[in-house]
Amino acid sequence: MDKSSARTLRISMLALAMALFGCSSREVPAVPAASTKISWGNTPEGQPVELYTLMNAKGSEARIMTYGGVVVSLKVPDRSGALGDVVAGFDNLEGYLTPPPYFGAIIGRYGNRIGAGRFSLGGMEYQLAKNNGANHLHGGTRGFDKRVWSAKPLSPQSLELSYLSKDGEEGYPGNLSATVTYTLTDANELRIEYSATTDKETVVNLTNHSYFNLAGEGDILGHQVMIHADRFTPVDKGLIPTGELKSVAGTPFDFLTAKAIGERIEQKDKQLIFGQGYDHNWVLNRTGPGLETAARVTDSKSGRVLEVLTTEPGLQFYTGNFLDGTLKGKGRVYAKRSAFCMETQHFPDSPNKPAFPSTVLRPGDTYRTTTVYRFSTT
C-alpha cells in the first residue's frame, strides 16, 4: 500500500470510529494531510505562481505562495479552539501585484531602509533604487517580494523556497543564492529559516513582512505587547537611524513590561511623529547566538498569544500606520492600525553605520538566521 492510500485508510478509520462511538472531531487527534499545491495564476510576465498549503497535526494551516514567498494565510486556534486567519492578505494573486505594503512577503536583498540608497563596500560605491523618498526600502523597486521563488516541498508541514538574485540586481553586488524554509510545527509555530551564499562581497538582511491581527479583524490598539529590549534606534524624518542606541527608559518605546499598543501611540513624542506611530527597530537583549525570545503579543478578545523568537539582533515593530482603508481582502478593510508587523532583522542602514552589527556576506561564508512565530492561547 502506498503512502497516499495508507493516509486515506487511516482517515476513513477515524471517521468510522467517530460515527460508531459518537466522538467529536476535537476528541480525535487530527491526521496531518499532505501539503497541497494549486496553480494561483501568472505574473504579468507570464510566470506561473503556485500556492502551497501546510497543515499540522492540530489542524492549523499555513498557505504560502511562490510569488514573493508570501504567507497568504495563517490559521491558528483561539481560546475556544476555533481556527482564524491572523495575517493580512488578499483573495487572489492580483491583490499582491500592486505596490507595497508587502503583505506576508519575504523581504530582500536588504530588509528595511538604506539611507540615500547608497553604500560603500570593498572600496566600491553602490547606488540602489530610491523607492522610499530619498531612500532605499525592502530591496528596491523589484525586491524579493516581487520575484517568483522555486518551491520544494520537504514534508506535509515544510516548504523550501529558493531564488538566485543575480549580480547587479537592484544595484546589489554578487550572485546571491537565497533559501527560505517555512515549517508549520505541531506546536503551532511557523518556523522560518533563511540561508544565503554569494560569489562576491555583498550585504544581506532577510526578513518576513507578515501583518498580524490576533483577533482577525478590527484594530490592534488593544493588543498587549512586550519587547525584550532595553534600547532602540532613533530615526530622522526619513526613518533612517541616527546611529544612536537609545535607552527606552522613560519613553513610549519601553515595552519591557506588556503595554497596549494604543496606550502611548498618540503621545507627542518626536519619534512617534516621525513614524506616525511605531515604525522603529528595537535592539534586542541577547545572551547568545541561538533562538531567544524577542517579543510577546496577546489579544484578550480571542485569547491568542504570539511569541516571536529569533537569532537576529533587531526587531522592527510596525503598527500599520500607513494603511489607509484603500486595500481590501479576505472580507476585511485594511485601515490604519488594523495590523502590526514584527520584522526580525539586522538594523536599518547598517551598511552605512559601522557601529551597527555587520550585514556583510563574503564568498565562502553562509548567511543563516531563524525566526519562529509561536502561537498559543490564554
Grid coordinates of 351: 551598511
Q: Are 180 and 194 in contact (CB under 8 A)?
A: yes
Q: Are residues 199 and 275 in the same domain?
A: yes
User: Does residue 122 share a domain with residue 146?
Assistant: yes
For residues 19 and 97, state if they share a domain.
no
**pLDDT computed for residue 99 by the predictor:** 86
Over residues 193-198, the mean pLDDT reads 98
Q: Provide the sign of the torsion angle of the four alpha carbons 165, 167, 172, 176, taken in this order.
A: positive
**Domain containing residue 346:** 38-377
45 CB-near residues (< 8 Å, 6+ apart)? none
Same domain for 18 and 126, yes or no, is no
Tell me the mean pLDDT in the region 238-256. 98
- Cα–Cα dist 150/171, whole Å: 22
C-alpha radius of gyration, the chain, whole number: 21
pLDDT number for residue 49: 98
DSSP string, 114-148: EGGGEEEETTEEEE----BTTBEETTSTT-GGGSB
Q: Would you state the pLDDT for residue 204?
A: 98
Report whether 149 contacts 163 (CB < 8 A).
yes
Query: What is the rounded average pLDDT of the residues 100-118?
Result: 97
Query: In this structure, what CATH number is given to the domain that contains residue 120?
Result: 2.70.98.10
- The pLDDT value recorded for residue 1 is 47
pLDDT surpassing 80 at residue 72: yes
pLDDT on residue 225: 99
Number of separate domains in the chain: 2
Please tell me the distance from the alpha carbon of residue 78 to that of residue 258, in angstroms, as a whole number: 20
Bridge partners of 10, per DSSP, are none
In sequence order, which residues have a C-beta less than 8 Å from that of residue 125 and are 6 or more positions away?
Answer: 118, 119
pLDDT digits (tens, 9 = 90+) for 336-365: 999 999 999 999 999 999 999 999 999 999
Using 50, 70 and 90 to split pLDDT, how confident is the model at 8?
A: very low
Asked if residue 10 and residue 121 are part of one domain, the reply reads no
If asked whether residues 179 and 219 sit together in one domain, one would say yes
- Read off the amino acid at residue 31: V
375, 83 contact by CB (below 8 A):
no
Shared domain for 270 and 134, answered yes or no, is: yes
- Do 1 and 128 lie in one domain? The reply is no
pLDDT digits (tens, 9 = 90+) for 14-23: 333 333 333 3
Instruction: Say what the pLDDT of residue 194 is.
Output: 98
d(CA 295, CA 316) in angstroms, rounded, equals: 11
The pLDDT, as a whole number, for residue 34 is 52
- % of the chain at pLDDT higher than 90: 90
- pTM strictly above 0.95: no
50 belongs to the catalytic site: no
Residues near 288 by beta carbon (within 8 Å), at least 6 away in sequence: none
Same domain, 109 and 160: yes
In the set 136, 138, 209, 280, the catalytic residue is 209
The predicted structure's pLDDT at residue 100: 84
85, 105: one domain: yes
Q: 248 and 119 in one domain?
A: yes
Catalytic residue (one of 280, 307, 343, 346) = 343
CB contact at 8 A, 348 and 241: yes
Over 70: is that where the pLDDT of 61 sits? Answer: yes
Q: Is residue 94 annotated as part of the catalytic site, yes or no?
A: no
Query: Does 295 lie in the same domain as 254?
Result: yes
- Please state, in angstroms and as integers, the Cα–Cα distance from residue 173 to each residue in 91, 137, 203, 291, 360, following that order: 36, 17, 8, 30, 11
Sequence-ordered list of residues with C-beta below 8 angstroms from that of 280, at least 6 positions apart, any chain: 232, 233, 234, 235, 253, 271, 316, 317
CA 209 → CA 123, 195, 244, 358, distances in Å?
32, 17, 25, 21
pLDDT in tens, 171-190: 999 999 999 999 999 999 99
What is the rounded CA–CA span in Å between residue 235 and residue 112?
12
- CA 208 distance to own-chain centroid: 3
3-state secondary structure 315-326: EEEECCCCCCCC
Q: Is the pLDDT of residue 368 over 90?
A: yes
Q: Would you state the pLDDT for residue 4?
A: 40
Phi, psi of 27 (to 5 degrees): -90, -10
Give 276-310 pLDDT, tens digit per residue. Answer: 999 999 999 999 999 999 999 999 999 999 999 99
Res 241 pLDDT > 50: yes
Q: Which three cell numbers stand for residue 257?
A: 513590561
**Higher-confidence position of 35 and 348:** 348
Residue entry with cell 460508531: 20
Q: How far is CA 287 from CA 229, 282, 372, in A?
A: 12, 16, 17
Taking CA atoms, 224 is separated from 218, 262, 284, 343, 344, in Å, by 15, 9, 18, 17, 19
Q: Is the pLDDT of residue 32 over 50?
A: no
